[in-house]
Amino acid sequence: MHRVAIVGGGTGGTVLANRLADELRSEIEAGEVDVRLITADENHVYKPTFLYVPFGKKTVDDAKRPIEELVDRRVTLTIDEVTDVDTERKRLSLAERATELSYDHLVLATGATLEPEAVPGLAEGGHHFYGPDGAEALRDELAAFTEGHLVLSVVGVPHMCPAAPVEFVLMVDDWLRERGLREDVELTYTYPINRAHGLESIADWASDLFEDRDVNLETFFNVDEVDPDAEVVETVEGKELEYDLLVAIPPHRGSDLVTAAGLGEDGWVDVDRHTLEATGAEDVYAIGDTADVPTSKAGSVAHYEAGVVADRIASRVRGTVPTATYDGKTVCFLEAGMDEATFVEFEYGKEPYVREPSKPLHWAKLGYNESYWLTARGLL
């Protein structure tokens, strides 16, 4: 029997499990293949929903569904935490299981973890919208915010949903204008390198909008420390920036499992960027945020990577040479305010073309967010 173990029940892991259940349907039903999805969380979380929580457009509950409702019946679902990966013996240790699990093909889809504690004072002095608690706390803070200096600071790079910080600033600008508060609020956006985003075309697009909407842009702004009492951000470049409300994108790290298994530094798996096979072990793949590839840590990346890995594993199960490869394809809707959005698509080595924002693209983004659960099921 071919045993396929997938660790992580986010977008990548769930889509992959369902794709394999469909692709290897006959082999699974014949008892020749076992596809197992292992996740510590009983709920599947669609993280892009959190962007809308601070503005009261969505709730935290809108972002989650029981994972058992999303996974094909042919997939063995295990709700447990993987505590160790032994790539030499091809075995996994689980927190609640006395015996180890053996695998023939392993896929790590362990995602990214927020680490605000890595910057002194950030957890105490800053807010974020990258998790349920942070999004709700920011919603409450924003509801009471009527004047002062609101700073959005991208502290950690790389980070999940790379366009979300730009989206938040453009959305909060609109949100404040709708309430007649914008004249009393100064907006500042900071980024660690010499432009507003890692991708030059998006940086140019965002910079033009920031200028049109009177949003201050600070570049080469690498946060070193936050003084929550004085409400000051200090940088390694020696700058200081006062704030009344700080919204920060915290540093991210990968999984300790990855580091302990010798598969990559800082919890990101070193992989071939086209085959997504780990460079440090045989029959191991990584997809989604945990895969160290030169593109965005976006949900669409995990989705497309899952399709490639599903095809490659199916080929190996059937004894044929895998030919599917990942070309870095990424698609992303970007909110340009509360009622307009744009859309980009790109791959390795290519800059995205940023379309003119429009209401139809905004509604297309909202429509996709509602239909995401079909994507998780492998139906889109």
Q: Is 213 contained in some domain?
A: yes
Show which of 229, 251, 273 is a domain's final residue: 251
Residue 208 and residue 313 share a domain:
no
**Pair of tokens at residue 38:** 């292992």
* pLDDT of res. 87: 97
Query: What is the CA angle 110-112-114, rounded to 5?
Result: 140
Rounded Cα–Cα distance for residues 25 and 21 (Å): 5
Could you list the residue range(s) of the whole structural domain that residue 189 is in? 121-251
- Is residue 227 very low, low, confident or very high in pLDDT (cuts 50, 70, 90)? very high
Residue 127 and residue 231 share a domain:
yes
Question: What pTM did the predictor assign?
Answer: 0.96
Q: Is 367 contained in some domain?
A: no
Q: How many CA atoms lie within 13 A of 213 on its CB side?
A: 26
Q: Is 275 contained in some domain?
A: yes
* pLDDT of res. 156: 85
Q: Could you read off the pLDDT of 25-70 as tens digits, one per residue?
A: 999 999 999 999 999 999 999 999 999 999 999 999 999 999 999 9
* Helix boundaries (H) for 189-325: 200-212, 256-260, 299-317
Give per-residue burial for 247-271: e unless 16+ CB within 10 Å, then b: bbbbbbbbbebbbebebbeebbbbb
* pLDDT of res. 106: 98
For the cut 90, the answer to whether the pLDDT of residue 379 exceeds it is no
Show which of 251, 272, 300 is a domain's final residue: 251
- Give the mean pLDDT of 223-252: 97
Query: What is the CA angle 105-285-101, rounded to 5?
Result: 40
* pLDDT of res. 68: 97
Q: Could you read off the pLDDT of 278-312 as tens digits, one per residue?
A: 999 999 999 999 999 999 999 999 999 999 999 99
- 27: amino acid identity, one letter: E
- For strands 148-154 and 185-190, give the pairing: parallel
Residue 292 and residue 223 share a domain:
no
For the cut 90, the answer to whether the pLDDT of residue 151 exceeds it is yes
Residue 160 and residue 279 share a domain:
no
Residue 311 and residue 266 share a domain:
yes
- Is residue 378 very low, low, confident or very high in pLDDT (cuts 50, 70, 90)? confident
- The answer to whether the beta carbons of residues 254 and 113 sit under 8 Å apart is yes
The dihedral region occupied by 214, where left means phi > 0, alpha psi between -120 and 50, and beta the remainder, is left
Q: Is 98 contained in some domain?
A: yes
Q: Is 105 contained in some domain?
A: yes
**Pair of tokens at residue 195:** 């432009």
The number of folded domains in the chain is 2
Rounded Cα–Cα distance for residues 154 and 259 (Å): 25
For the cut 90, the answer to whether the pLDDT of residue 380 exceeds it is no
Show which of 283, 306, 328 is a domain's final residue: 328
- Give the mean pLDDT of 158-175: 96
* pLDDT of res. 103: 98
* pLDDT of res. 98: 83
- Give the mean pLDDT of 236-261: 96
Rounded Cα–Cα distance for residues 185 and 206 (Å): 19
Q: Is 84 contained in some domain?
A: yes
The CATH number for 129's domain is 3.50.50.60
Residue 307 and residue 202 share a domain:
no
- Give the mean pLDDT of 214-240: 98
In the block, which residue shows the tokens 């699990």? 101
Q: Could you read off the pLDDT of 302-356 as tens digits, one per residue?
A: 999 999 999 999 999 999 999 999 999 999 999 999 999 999 999 999 999 999 9
Q: Could you read off the pLDDT of 101-128 as tens digits, one per residue?
A: 999 999 999 999 999 999 999 999 999 9
For the cut 80, the answer to whether the pLDDT of residue 204 exceeds it is yes
Q: Is the N-terminal amide bond of 250 cis, ω within 30° of 0?
A: no
Residue 136 and residue 47 share a domain:
no
**Pair of tokens at residue 188:** 């500042």
Residue 215 and residue 263 share a domain:
no
Residue 163 and residue 239 share a domain:
yes
Q: Is 242 contained in some domain?
A: yes
Residue 284 and residue 237 share a domain:
no
For the cut 90, the answer to whether the pLDDT of residue 99 exceeds it is no
* Helix boundaries (H) for 116-183: 122-125, 132-143, 164-178
- The answer to whether the beta carbons of residues 63 and 54 sit under 8 Å apart is no
Q: Is 363 contained in some domain?
A: no
**Pair of tokens at residue 310:** 């599903």
* pLDDT of res. 266: 86
- 92: amino acid identity, one letter: L
Residue 223 and residue 193 share a domain:
yes
- Is residue 93 very low, low, confident or very high in pLDDT (cuts 50, 70, 90)? very high
Residue 52 and residue 171 share a domain:
no
